[in-house]
């Protein structure tokens, strides 16, 4: 399973699976790119295929890191399974979904 995060058109575009198998590398890569940008991070999840609870943990980790830098993270194009999972865990209101 592969996952990528790349800066494109003012967004951090995530593609692949946001699962336990990819969470560590995904978190590190997203953090690396978002810290190098001066603008608040906008993660575009349009190309994400699968999300599990580890994917939610990655998003919350990115949010904490952005807040530590005085930035507010935004999430665009969340996949339906992410929205559903956030509802199951009752954390939908905590996610900055666009």
Q: What is the pLDDT of residue 98?
A: 78
Q: Which DSSP string do the residues of the chain spell out, in sequence order?
A: --EEEEEETTEEEEEEEESTTTHHHHHHHHHHHHHT-SSPPEEEEEEEEEE-HHHHHHHHHHHHHHHHTT---EEES--HHHHHHHHHTT-GGGS-B-
CATH of domain 3-94: 3.30.750.24
pLDDT tens digits for the chain (98 residues)? 689 999 998 899 999 999 999 999 999 999 999 988 889 999 999 999 999 999 999 999 999 999 999 999 999 999 999 999 999 999 999 999 87
Beta bridge partners of 7: 12
Residue 69 near residue 38, CB atoms below 8 Å: no
Phi, psi of 5 (to 5 degrees): -135, 125
């Amino acid at each position: 399973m592969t996952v990528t995060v790349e800066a494109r058109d003012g967004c951090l575009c995530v593609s692949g699976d946001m699962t336990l198998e990819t969470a560590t590398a995904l978190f590190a890569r997203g953090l690396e790119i978002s810290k190098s940008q001066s603008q608040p991070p906008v993660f575009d999840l349009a190309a994400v295929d699968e999300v599990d609870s580890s994917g939610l943990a990655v998003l919350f980790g990115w949010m904490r890191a952005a807040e530590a830098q005085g930035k507010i993270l935004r999430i665009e194009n969340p996949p339906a399974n992410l929205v559903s999972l956030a509802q199951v865990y009752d954390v939908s209101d905590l996610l900055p979904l666009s």
